[in-house]
Structure 1
């Protein structure tokens, strides 16, 4: 289980430097926005879940200037950064809340956009049920999250040092797809993309993860400071992955979208039919 209070504290502490380190988050969000080119819809109410500092919230407001655009995040300091992106031409509406308990009325949202936030949700079916509740019939969700091959080098390097959980456990794409179906969302489509970032030193990777607030927030995570000897052993283990003079960090990025059914009968789709490329 994830520690929701720890998630809030971690991202609140990272708010001031988040944009300086969120290279991958910015790229994935941009790729998600490009996917909207293929969806013929003009949403009137947009909800960006896990909006962070609001970079993609602002992009959504620019794309759909007639829509009401809300940016929801668990950390209030992130929303303070978002407010600075708002203008009278394209006002952004920050909401401090948990994406697993949305403070929105039933059938009130046309588009839910969520880039790299779902991995912090331990009750996926509960979250998708909330999304289904607030979506209007014919509304849709577009999201990205991380799959289990994410940060595999980091995970393996810590495993060479001890048996404690140092890296977040990311959920398989098919489990995510099952949760959408169980929540009553229609026509789910999913695909996966593997990206790799490179670093000169493992310290640079750790600094970046800290800069965006991506700590291990499991309830049973290791507590206290890591000893120098164990840290050196971890760094030595990671060196085994060095290739062409740099250290890789792998990310399995899972994309998904689905629709709120236009009638009361939920469309049934088998998990085998989910698209994977």
Structure 2
């Protein structure tokens, strides 16, 4: 997963560009993202916390941040995103008297002090990270002892129809390689989180034509940022071959499905902050009396 030759590794610059361009079209196309965000936030109903500082990681246009302002009326809410234009949208949320803060930063290198946040939320951002253990290792450093991480991301069956259809056309990569639910749990433990809970559900959207799916993906900024993508332009014949291949998945009612495997998870920060550097232990030998 970390080799430069892996065609599924994501180009961070390309990822950022996609979301910068989509900041003004995101809300009109992010129906699925809003629905998953609402389901994620419902899980907070079972968490008895009154946090002082909450980070919304991968905040997008700030829908989650705005909800957190209303839920935690005394907390400082900070939206974090790789795209400057998304951060600017987040800063406009809320009322005239209280708005979320916005920080443009990489999830792998958060510009915050250790143990500064009580809660981290992340809605559909982790699938844009190449190295989950490294990202979780960064996040656990930011959380206070017993702090909460709650997230939603995509699993391996996401966009399986799109990937299979392109697979019949060429040998390029056309979608991210989504991480299995069990590997997400392992990455949490590896980073030092405790008591991780991970579950999943499948959501299927349907379209009257496949181009509608492509428009939605473009509208939210979810462009193909894999290193193994076709770096040239997709010709009309190439696109037509893809659309024809997608016909295999057309349902009896004439609609075209797009499957999303949604992985939800939460975990708690340890009481003792894990060290970023490996520690050396020197055994103490007892002297014989």
* TM tier, smaller: over 0.9
- 1:208 partnered with 2:212: no
Distance 1:136 1:105 in 2: 10
CA contact (8 A) 1:57 1:92 kept: yes
Q: Post-superposition shift, 1:174?
A: 1.2
Distance 1:33 1:264 in 2: 26
SS, match of residue 105 in structure 1: coil
Q: What is the Cα deviation at residue 87 of structure 1?
A: 3.0
RMSD: 1.3
Kept in 2, the 8 Å contact 1:107–1:136? The answer is yes
Aligned partner (choices 246, 250, 270) of residue 255 of structure 2: 246
Q: In structure 2, what is the Cα distance between the partners aligned to 1:201 and 1:55?
A: 28
User: May I ask how many residue pairs the two structures share in their alignment?
Assistant: 266
By how many angstroms is 1:70 displaced? 0.1
Extract unaligned runs of 5+ from structure 2.
1-8, 276-289
Distance 2:67 2:98 in 1: 10
Quote how far apart the aligned CAs of 1:264 are.
Answer: 5.8
1:164 aligns with: 172
Superposed, 1:106-121 pairs within 5 Å as 106-121=114-129
Instruction: Indicate the larger mover: 234-243 or 188-197.
Output: 234-243
- 1:22 equivalent in structure 2: 30
Where in structure 1 do 4 or more consecutive aligned residues deviate above 6 Å? none
The equivalent of 1:270 in structure 2 is none
Alignment of 1:15-164 (within 5 A): 15-164=23-172
Contact 1:132–1:183, Cα closer than 8 Å, also in 2: yes
C-alpha separation between the residues in 2 aligned to 1:163 and 1:49? Answer: 33
SS at match of 1:220: coil
CA contact (8 A) 1:58 1:90 kept: no
Partners of 2:207 and 2:168 lie apart in 1 by 20
TM-score normalized by the length of structure 2: 0.90
CA distance in 1, matches of 2:166, 2:65: 35
The CA distance in 2 between the partners of 1:145 and 1:265, in whole Å, is 24
What aligned pairs does 1:168-207 form with structure 2 within 5 A after superposition? 168-207=176-215
Pairwise CA distance, 1:47: 0.1
Distance in 2, matches of 1:75 and 1:265, equals 29
Report which of the two structures shows the higher radius of gyration computed on alpha carbons: 2
Evaluate the alpha carbon distance shift between residue 121 and residue 264 of structure 1 in structure 2; reply closer, same or farther with a 3 A threshold.
closer
Contact 1:73 1:97 in 2 (8 A): yes
Note if contact 2:141-2:274 (Cα within 8 Å) is conserved in structure 1. no
| 5+ long unaligned stretches in structure 1 | 267-277
